[in-house]
Amino acid sequence: MDAGRQHGGDTGVYRYREQRAFQTRSTGGVSGKARWRQSENSLSTDTSLEAMTLVTYYKARFQIEFLFRDAKQFLGLNDCQARKEQALHFHFNASMTALNLLKLEDRQHQPSGQRVISIARWRTRKANAHLLERFSSYLGLDFNDIKSRPDFDEMCHYGAIAS
């Protein structure tokens, strides 16, 4: 469905185009297959975009917003107190690199097909492993012996939320 509105003059042109993207899903039920349509209304100032391209852009945008949310909440993206541009760039890059490395490690440890990641769980796990390493250092224990114990993963996941 296209709808347009224009306004001339010095204020510029105001024009919009509404497109609807439909997704059809089948679900099995007692009486057979039920079909339903889910509609999503998307508005854009670019009238040349197709509906599915616009939906793809929105999906990518939300993934970027999740990256920034996780980096702010769990990896200290907003905690830099530097004023120099180079130091700020270093801090932002370090936070995003840490996030990407956590996502890579999570992808390597998860079964294929599972796409849920909990940065809070990984942060708790890494903090517990660091504490175990510090305790073993203070107590004069060999950390490699602790890491080789069968319950090391259980100790690292202590207090972590399930994802």
The verdict on residue 153 lying in a domain is yes
Burial label, 67 (beta-carbon count in 10 A; 0-12, 13-18, 19+): middle
Domain count, the chain: 1
pTM comes to 0.57
7 domain-assigned: no
> Which domain, by its residues, includes 122?
118-163
Judge whether 63 lies within some domain.
Answer: no
Q: Which has the higher per-residue pLDDT, 21 or 138?
A: 138
Q: Is residue 29 part of a domain?
A: no
Q: Give the confidence band of 40 by pLDDT, cuts at 50, 70, 90.
A: low
Q: Where are the alpha helices (DSSP H) in 2-118?
A: 51-74, 85-109
Mean pLDDT for all residues in the chain: 76
Instruction: Provide, rounded to the nearest whole percent, the portion of the chain with pLDDT above 90.
Output: 18
When pLDDT is cut at 50, 70 and 90, the band that residue 62 belongs to is confident
pLDDT of residue 110: 76
pLDDT for the residue 20: 52
